[in-house]
Amino acid sequence: MLRYHSTPRSSCPRTPEAPDSHEGANIRKPSPALISLNPINVEADQNSPHLVNVEERIRIGGRPVSKEQFAQLFWDVHESVKQVASTEELKPPSYLQYIILMACKAFVEEKVDAAVVEVGLGGRYDHTNFFSNPCVTVVTSLSLEHTEVLGNTIEEIAGKKAGIFKHGCPAIVSDDQTDGAINVFLSEASKIGNRLKLLSKGYMFGPSGFA
């Protein structure tokens, strides 16, 4: 994926560390960005990738990018794809791969402080799983879906989902998992030296962490 675009991984936005607390300190409010690739729209909790317009898939500060910005992002990425394809034998990006490349470009151009990137399918082999140093990885409730790709059991699906865990990055899963899924998550987190954190619905995240 990164071969198709010149934006380095190190420039992708991450949640900054909270500065030391000083009275009167001028702390800039984060500008969160959201990309929705899955059948669940995280920000609006919808049941499809986009309800009306494709621009809804890339949001800056809670708002979809404009039609003009979306079109410009597409042509910029398309030009990069053409340049790479002219020198290397790579398959052209899929529709969703185009979207994630466009989103990363938008996030960098807008200088966002944090970006939420939603996995498209599974996790371990998903086209979004190229961020080497995310702030946090989260897995929500599992169900038997896309079994032809992810596996026929919840445990197999959990193994694919756990593929987004990264060493040194908090691994969080919702606590409504089956015992079998929890065991898989614990095992996969242990393999990379991570501790697993279970969180129930309704938790909040602030400057000091989870509450």
- How many residues make up the chain in this entry? 211
pLDDT of residue 71: 95
Exposure b/e, 61-92, CB count within 10 A at least 16 = b: eeebbeeebbebbbebbbebbeebeeeeeeee
pLDDT of residue 15: 33
pLDDT of residue 135: 86
* pTM over the 0.75 mark: no
pLDDT of residue 165: 94
In the block, tokens 């399918």 appear at 121
What does pLDDT average to in each consecutive run of 10 residues of the chain (211 residues)?
48 37 30 44 36 84 89 94 81 86 88 83 88 88 89 94 92 92 94 88 57 51
pLDDT of residue 40: 32
